Structure 1
Amino acid sequence: MRKSGASLESVPELIARWTAHLGLSVEAKPAPSGDEEAFPNRLSVSGPDAGWLAADRGAGLDALQFLVHEAQGEREDHKLAYLDVKGARLFRMQEVMAMGRFAAEKARELGSHTLGALSARERRWVHLVVSREEGLGTESEGVGTFKPVRVFRK
Protein backbone atom coordinates (compact mmCIF):
# COMPACT_ATOMS: atom_id res chain seq x y z
CA MET A 1 0.00 0.00 0.00
CA ARG A 2 1.24 3.47 -0.85
CA LYS A 3 1.97 5.98 1.85
CA SER A 4 -0.03 9.18 1.92
CA GLY A 5 1.81 12.19 0.59
CA ALA A 6 0.44 15.64 -0.09
CA SER A 7 -2.74 16.50 1.76
CA LEU A 8 -5.85 17.61 -0.07
CA GLU A 9 -5.46 21.05 1.51
CA SER A 10 -1.92 21.45 0.10
CA VAL A 11 -2.87 20.64 -3.50
CA PRO A 12 -3.81 24.22 -4.57
CA GLU A 13 -0.36 25.45 -3.51
CA LEU A 14 1.32 22.54 -5.34
CA ILE A 15 -0.59 23.37 -8.51
CA ALA A 16 0.38 27.04 -8.33
CA ARG A 17 4.03 26.17 -7.73
CA TRP A 18 4.27 23.50 -10.44
CA THR A 19 2.51 25.56 -13.09
CA ALA A 20 4.67 28.59 -12.22
CA HIS A 21 7.74 26.48 -13.06
CA LEU A 22 6.16 26.02 -16.50
CA GLY A 23 5.63 29.77 -16.84
CA LEU A 24 1.87 29.53 -16.35
CA SER A 25 -0.18 31.75 -14.08
CA VAL A 26 -3.02 29.70 -12.59
CA GLU A 27 -4.63 29.13 -9.22
CA ALA A 28 -6.78 26.33 -7.85
CA LYS A 29 -9.60 26.76 -5.37
CA PRO A 30 -12.08 24.27 -3.89
CA ALA A 31 -15.41 24.42 -5.72
CA PRO A 32 -18.41 22.22 -4.93
CA SER A 33 -19.63 19.92 -7.68
CA GLY A 34 -23.18 19.58 -6.41
CA ASP A 35 -22.72 15.81 -6.14
CA GLU A 36 -19.76 15.06 -3.92
CA GLU A 37 -20.25 11.31 -4.30
CA ALA A 38 -19.81 11.53 -8.08
CA PHE A 39 -17.26 14.38 -8.26
CA PRO A 40 -15.53 14.75 -4.88
CA ASN A 41 -12.91 17.32 -3.97
CA ARG A 42 -13.34 19.44 -7.09
CA LEU A 43 -10.70 22.12 -7.52
CA SER A 44 -11.50 24.84 -10.02
CA VAL A 45 -8.35 25.90 -11.85
CA SER A 46 -8.49 29.47 -13.13
CA GLY A 47 -6.26 32.32 -14.15
CA PRO A 48 -4.88 33.85 -17.32
CA ASP A 49 -3.19 30.62 -18.44
CA ALA A 50 -5.81 28.06 -17.32
CA GLY A 51 -6.99 27.69 -20.91
CA TRP A 52 -3.65 26.13 -21.82
CA LEU A 53 -4.42 23.24 -19.47
CA ALA A 54 -7.84 22.76 -21.06
CA ALA A 55 -6.49 22.74 -24.62
CA ASP A 56 -6.34 19.54 -26.64
CA ARG A 57 -9.28 17.97 -24.78
CA GLY A 58 -7.71 18.73 -21.43
CA ALA A 59 -4.49 16.78 -22.01
CA GLY A 60 -2.48 19.20 -19.85
CA LEU A 61 -5.12 19.08 -17.12
CA ASP A 62 -5.08 15.26 -17.22
CA ALA A 63 -1.29 15.27 -16.87
CA LEU A 64 -1.41 17.73 -13.98
CA GLN A 65 -4.14 15.72 -12.26
CA PHE A 66 -2.04 12.55 -12.64
CA LEU A 67 0.91 14.30 -10.98
CA VAL A 68 -1.34 15.58 -8.18
CA HIS A 69 -2.66 12.07 -7.55
CA GLU A 70 0.90 10.71 -7.48
CA ALA A 71 1.89 13.42 -4.99
CA GLN A 72 -1.12 12.60 -2.83
CA GLY A 73 -0.27 8.91 -2.86
CA GLU A 74 -3.93 7.99 -2.35
CA ARG A 75 -6.13 5.69 -4.37
CA GLU A 76 -9.47 6.37 -2.71
CA ASP A 77 -11.73 8.73 -4.71
CA HIS A 78 -13.01 10.61 -1.68
CA LYS A 79 -9.43 11.60 -0.72
CA LEU A 80 -8.12 12.66 -4.14
CA ALA A 81 -8.29 16.13 -5.68
CA TYR A 82 -10.06 16.41 -9.05
CA LEU A 83 -9.20 19.34 -11.28
CA ASP A 84 -11.58 21.29 -13.50
CA VAL A 85 -11.04 24.23 -15.84
CA LYS A 86 -13.96 26.49 -16.79
CA GLY A 87 -16.42 23.89 -15.48
CA ALA A 88 -15.79 21.56 -18.43
CA ARG A 89 -15.45 18.42 -16.30
CA LEU A 90 -18.41 19.40 -14.14
CA PHE A 91 -20.48 19.86 -17.30
CA ARG A 92 -19.34 16.45 -18.60
CA MET A 93 -20.30 14.81 -15.29
CA GLN A 94 -23.77 16.34 -15.49
CA GLU A 95 -24.08 15.30 -19.14
CA VAL A 96 -23.05 11.67 -18.49
CA MET A 97 -25.28 11.40 -15.44
CA ALA A 98 -28.21 12.68 -17.55
CA MET A 99 -27.35 9.98 -20.12
CA GLY A 100 -27.43 7.45 -17.28
CA ARG A 101 -30.88 8.63 -16.19
CA PHE A 102 -32.08 8.42 -19.80
CA ALA A 103 -30.65 4.89 -20.10
CA ALA A 104 -32.43 3.97 -16.85
CA GLU A 105 -35.76 5.18 -18.31
CA LYS A 106 -35.16 3.21 -21.50
CA ALA A 107 -34.15 0.09 -19.54
CA ARG A 108 -37.39 0.28 -17.53
CA GLU A 109 -39.33 0.60 -20.78
CA LEU A 110 -37.43 -1.89 -22.98
CA GLY A 111 -35.66 -4.18 -20.51
CA SER A 112 -32.16 -2.90 -21.27
CA HIS A 113 -30.33 -0.04 -22.94
CA THR A 114 -26.64 0.23 -23.85
CA LEU A 115 -24.69 3.47 -23.84
CA GLY A 116 -21.72 3.95 -26.15
CA ALA A 117 -18.09 3.66 -25.10
CA LEU A 118 -17.19 5.70 -22.02
CA SER A 119 -14.03 6.27 -19.99
CA ALA A 120 -13.63 4.64 -16.58
CA ARG A 121 -14.69 7.81 -14.74
CA GLU A 122 -17.70 8.29 -17.00
CA ARG A 123 -18.72 4.65 -16.50
CA ARG A 124 -18.46 5.17 -12.75
CA TRP A 125 -20.89 8.10 -13.03
CA VAL A 126 -23.39 5.96 -14.97
CA HIS A 127 -23.06 3.08 -12.47
CA LEU A 128 -23.57 5.57 -9.63
CA VAL A 129 -26.67 7.27 -11.05
CA VAL A 130 -28.29 3.95 -11.97
CA SER A 131 -27.49 2.49 -8.53
CA ARG A 132 -29.74 5.21 -7.12
CA GLU A 133 -32.64 3.74 -9.13
CA GLU A 134 -34.51 0.78 -7.70
CA GLY A 135 -34.77 -2.42 -9.75
CA LEU A 136 -32.01 -1.57 -12.25
CA GLY A 137 -28.43 -2.74 -12.69
CA THR A 138 -25.45 -1.90 -14.86
CA GLU A 139 -22.46 -3.65 -16.32
CA SER A 140 -19.53 -2.51 -18.40
CA GLU A 141 -19.06 -4.58 -21.53
CA GLY A 142 -15.97 -5.46 -23.53
CA VAL A 143 -12.32 -4.77 -22.94
CA GLY A 144 -10.08 -1.74 -23.23
CA THR A 145 -10.03 1.75 -21.82
CA PHE A 146 -13.33 2.88 -23.32
CA LYS A 147 -16.24 0.48 -22.85
CA PRO A 148 -20.00 0.57 -23.35
CA VAL A 149 -22.29 0.35 -20.32
CA ARG A 150 -25.45 -1.74 -20.37
CA VAL A 151 -28.33 -0.71 -18.09
CA PHE A 152 -30.87 -3.43 -17.44
CA ARG A 153 -33.87 -4.40 -15.33
CA LYS A 154 -33.02 -6.79 -12.53
Structure 2
Amino acid sequence: MQDLKTAAQQTHDFLKMLTTTGGFKLRFRIVAGAGAADPDGLEDRLIYVELSGPDEQMLIHRDGELLRSLEHVCAKILRLEPEEHDRISFDACGYKAERNREILDLAEEGIEAVKNSRKPYRFEPMSSRERRMLHLALKKAEGLRTESSGEGPNRFVVLYPEGWQARERDDRAAKIRERFRRR
Protein backbone atom coordinates (compact mmCIF):
# COMPACT_ATOMS: atom_id res chain seq x y z
CA MET A 1 0.00 0.00 0.00
CA GLN A 2 1.26 3.44 -0.81
CA ASP A 3 1.60 6.13 1.84
CA LEU A 4 -1.00 5.44 4.55
CA LYS A 5 -2.06 9.08 4.82
CA THR A 6 -2.74 9.23 1.07
CA ALA A 7 -4.63 5.92 1.18
CA ALA A 8 -6.80 7.18 4.06
CA GLN A 9 -7.51 10.40 2.11
CA GLN A 10 -8.47 8.44 -1.02
CA THR A 11 -10.79 6.29 1.12
CA HIS A 12 -12.31 9.48 2.58
CA ASP A 13 -12.80 10.95 -0.90
CA PHE A 14 -14.50 7.76 -2.13
CA LEU A 15 -16.88 7.68 0.83
CA LYS A 16 -17.57 11.40 0.56
CA MET A 17 -18.56 10.89 -3.08
CA LEU A 18 -20.88 8.02 -2.06
CA THR A 19 -22.59 10.13 0.59
CA THR A 20 -22.96 13.26 -1.54
CA THR A 21 -23.22 12.40 -5.22
CA GLY A 22 -24.27 8.79 -4.57
CA GLY A 23 -26.96 9.82 -2.12
CA PHE A 24 -26.12 7.27 0.57
CA LYS A 25 -27.19 8.45 4.00
CA LEU A 26 -24.12 7.33 5.89
CA ARG A 27 -21.55 8.67 8.30
CA PHE A 28 -18.09 7.16 8.35
CA ARG A 29 -15.08 7.01 10.61
CA ILE A 30 -11.69 6.06 9.17
CA VAL A 31 -8.90 4.69 11.35
CA ALA A 32 -5.47 4.17 9.80
CA GLY A 33 -2.29 2.64 11.13
CA ALA A 34 -1.91 0.66 14.36
CA GLY A 35 -5.40 1.62 15.57
CA ALA A 36 -6.92 -0.17 12.56
CA ALA A 37 -5.48 -3.56 13.54
CA ASP A 38 -7.91 -6.49 13.67
CA PRO A 39 -8.25 -7.65 17.29
CA ASP A 40 -9.00 -11.20 16.07
CA GLY A 41 -5.92 -11.30 13.81
CA LEU A 42 -7.91 -12.53 10.80
CA GLU A 43 -7.25 -9.46 8.66
CA ASP A 44 -3.97 -7.64 8.08
CA ARG A 45 -5.73 -4.31 7.92
CA LEU A 46 -4.08 -0.92 7.85
CA ILE A 47 -7.29 1.05 7.27
CA TYR A 48 -10.55 0.38 9.10
CA VAL A 49 -13.79 2.12 8.11
CA GLU A 50 -16.85 2.12 10.33
CA LEU A 51 -20.07 3.13 8.58
CA SER A 52 -23.29 4.18 10.33
CA GLY A 53 -26.47 6.07 9.61
CA PRO A 54 -29.94 5.59 8.11
CA ASP A 55 -28.66 3.43 5.19
CA GLU A 56 -26.44 1.14 7.29
CA GLN A 57 -28.91 -1.78 7.13
CA MET A 58 -28.72 -1.68 3.34
CA LEU A 59 -24.98 -2.38 3.61
CA ILE A 60 -25.40 -5.60 5.56
CA HIS A 61 -28.45 -6.93 3.71
CA ARG A 62 -27.85 -10.21 1.81
CA ASP A 63 -24.91 -11.27 3.96
CA GLY A 64 -23.14 -7.92 3.68
CA GLU A 65 -22.99 -7.99 -0.11
CA LEU A 66 -23.00 -4.20 -0.54
CA LEU A 67 -20.53 -3.72 2.32
CA ARG A 68 -18.11 -6.17 0.68
CA SER A 69 -18.65 -4.51 -2.70
CA LEU A 70 -17.81 -1.05 -1.37
CA GLU A 71 -14.75 -2.48 0.35
CA HIS A 72 -13.70 -4.13 -2.93
CA VAL A 73 -14.16 -0.91 -4.93
CA CYS A 74 -12.10 0.99 -2.38
CA ALA A 75 -9.35 -1.65 -2.55
CA LYS A 76 -9.30 -1.17 -6.33
CA ILE A 77 -9.13 2.63 -5.92
CA LEU A 78 -6.12 2.11 -3.63
CA ARG A 79 -4.64 -0.22 -6.28
CA LEU A 80 -4.26 -3.09 -3.83
CA GLU A 81 -3.34 -6.49 -5.22
CA PRO A 82 -5.91 -9.23 -4.49
CA GLU A 83 -3.71 -10.69 -1.74
CA GLU A 84 -3.63 -7.23 -0.09
CA HIS A 85 -7.40 -6.64 -0.03
CA ASP A 86 -7.53 -7.35 3.69
CA ARG A 87 -5.44 -4.19 4.25
CA ILE A 88 -8.71 -2.25 4.17
CA SER A 89 -11.83 -3.30 6.03
CA PHE A 90 -15.32 -1.78 6.12
CA ASP A 91 -17.89 -2.57 8.82
CA ALA A 92 -21.43 -1.47 9.62
CA CYS A 93 -23.58 -2.36 12.62
CA GLY A 94 -20.74 -4.59 13.85
CA TYR A 95 -21.63 -7.01 11.04
CA LYS A 96 -18.07 -7.96 10.04
CA ALA A 97 -16.86 -8.08 13.63
CA GLU A 98 -19.67 -10.54 14.39
CA ARG A 99 -18.88 -12.55 11.24
CA ASN A 100 -15.22 -12.74 12.31
CA ARG A 101 -16.33 -14.20 15.64
CA GLU A 102 -18.54 -16.68 13.77
CA ILE A 103 -15.56 -17.73 11.63
CA LEU A 104 -13.47 -18.27 14.77
CA ASP A 105 -16.31 -20.36 16.26
CA LEU A 106 -16.63 -22.36 13.02
CA ALA A 107 -12.89 -23.01 13.12
CA GLU A 108 -13.13 -24.34 16.68
CA GLU A 109 -16.09 -26.58 15.76
CA GLY A 110 -14.20 -27.94 12.75
CA ILE A 111 -11.06 -28.61 14.78
CA GLU A 112 -13.05 -30.50 17.41
CA ALA A 113 -14.94 -32.49 14.76
CA VAL A 114 -11.74 -33.60 13.01
CA LYS A 115 -9.93 -34.43 16.25
CA ASN A 116 -12.88 -36.52 17.45
CA SER A 117 -13.67 -38.30 14.17
CA ARG A 118 -10.22 -38.32 12.50
CA LYS A 119 -12.12 -37.59 9.27
CA PRO A 120 -12.11 -34.46 7.06
CA TYR A 121 -14.55 -31.68 7.92
CA ARG A 122 -16.18 -29.65 5.14
CA PHE A 123 -17.21 -26.06 5.87
CA GLU A 124 -20.06 -24.29 4.06
CA PRO A 125 -19.17 -22.25 0.92
CA MET A 126 -17.88 -18.74 1.62
CA SER A 127 -16.37 -15.75 -0.13
CA SER A 128 -12.66 -15.85 -0.92
CA ARG A 129 -11.93 -13.35 1.84
CA GLU A 130 -13.82 -15.38 4.45
CA ARG A 131 -12.11 -18.58 3.27
CA ARG A 132 -8.76 -16.88 3.74
CA MET A 133 -9.78 -15.81 7.23
CA LEU A 134 -10.91 -19.36 8.02
CA HIS A 135 -7.59 -20.77 6.77
CA LEU A 136 -5.82 -18.32 9.12
CA ALA A 137 -8.05 -19.27 12.06
CA LEU A 138 -7.39 -22.97 11.41
CA LYS A 139 -3.63 -22.48 11.07
CA LYS A 140 -3.23 -22.72 14.85
CA ALA A 141 -4.52 -26.32 14.89
CA GLU A 142 -1.54 -28.64 15.12
CA GLY A 143 -1.62 -31.81 13.07
CA LEU A 144 -4.38 -30.55 10.77
CA ARG A 145 -4.26 -28.97 7.33
CA THR A 146 -6.70 -27.05 5.14
CA GLU A 147 -7.50 -26.87 1.45
CA SER A 148 -10.07 -24.97 -0.56
CA SER A 149 -12.24 -26.99 -2.90
CA GLY A 150 -15.13 -26.39 -5.27
CA GLU A 151 -15.79 -23.72 -7.90
CA GLY A 152 -16.90 -20.08 -7.82
CA PRO A 153 -19.53 -19.22 -5.20
CA ASN A 154 -19.62 -22.89 -4.14
CA ARG A 155 -15.95 -22.89 -3.08
CA PHE A 156 -15.40 -24.13 0.48
CA VAL A 157 -12.67 -25.06 2.97
CA VAL A 158 -11.93 -28.63 4.01
CA LEU A 159 -10.02 -29.40 7.22
CA TYR A 160 -8.03 -32.65 7.09
CA PRO A 161 -6.46 -34.70 9.86
CA GLU A 162 -2.74 -35.28 9.66
CA GLY A 163 -1.78 -37.85 7.03
CA TRP A 164 -5.24 -37.99 5.43
CA GLN A 165 -4.04 -37.14 1.93
CA ALA A 166 -1.52 -39.96 1.96
CA ARG A 167 -4.19 -42.54 2.88
CA GLU A 168 -6.56 -41.07 0.30
CA ARG A 169 -3.89 -41.25 -2.40
CA ASP A 170 -2.92 -44.79 -1.41
CA ASP A 171 -6.57 -45.89 -1.59
CA ARG A 172 -6.95 -44.35 -5.05
CA ALA A 173 -3.70 -45.94 -6.23
CA ALA A 174 -4.81 -49.36 -4.92
CA LYS A 175 -8.13 -49.06 -6.79
CA ILE A 176 -6.34 -48.13 -10.01
CA ARG A 177 -3.90 -51.07 -9.62
CA GLU A 178 -6.83 -53.43 -8.99
CA ARG A 179 -8.60 -52.24 -12.13
CA PHE A 180 -5.49 -52.92 -14.25
CA ARG A 181 -5.01 -56.37 -12.71
CA ARG A 182 -8.51 -57.41 -13.78
CA ARG A 183 -7.72 -56.73 -17.44
Q: Answer whether TM exceeds 0.5 for this pair.
A: yes
- What is the identity percentage for the equivalent residue pairs of Structure 1 and Structure 2? 23
Which of the two has higher C-alpha Rg? 2
Unpaired runs of 5+ residues, structure 1, are none
**TM-score for both structures, normalised by structure 1:** 0.81
| Superposed structure 1 runs of 4+ greater than 4 Å apart | 3-6
Q: Is the 8 A contact 1:53 1:59 kept in 2?
A: yes
RMSD value, Cα: 2.6
SS at match of 1:132: coil
Matched, 1:19 2:19: yes
Q: In structure 2, what is the equivalent of residue 64 of structure 1?
A: 70
Q: Higher relative contact order by CA 8 Å / sep ≥ 6: 1 or 2?
A: 1
**Distance in 2 separating the partners of 1:56 and 1:87:** 15
Q: In structure 1, what is the equivalent of residue 56 of structure 2?
A: 50
Q: In structure 2, what is the equivalent of residue 135 of structure 1?
A: 143
| Alpha-carbon offset, residue 87 of structure 1 | 0.8
**TM-score for both structures, normalised by structure 2:** 0.70
**Distance in 1 separating the partners of 2:43 and 2:20:** 30
Cα offsets for 1:127-146 (capped at 9, x unmatched) = 11111121110111222233
Q: In structure 1, what is the equivalent of residue 8 of structure 2?
A: 9
Q: Is the 8 A contact 1:108 1:152 kept in 2?
A: no
Unpaired runs of 5+ residues, structure 2, are 163-183
**Greater helix share, 1 or 2?**
2
Q: In structure 1, what is the equivalent of residue 131 of structure 2?
A: 123
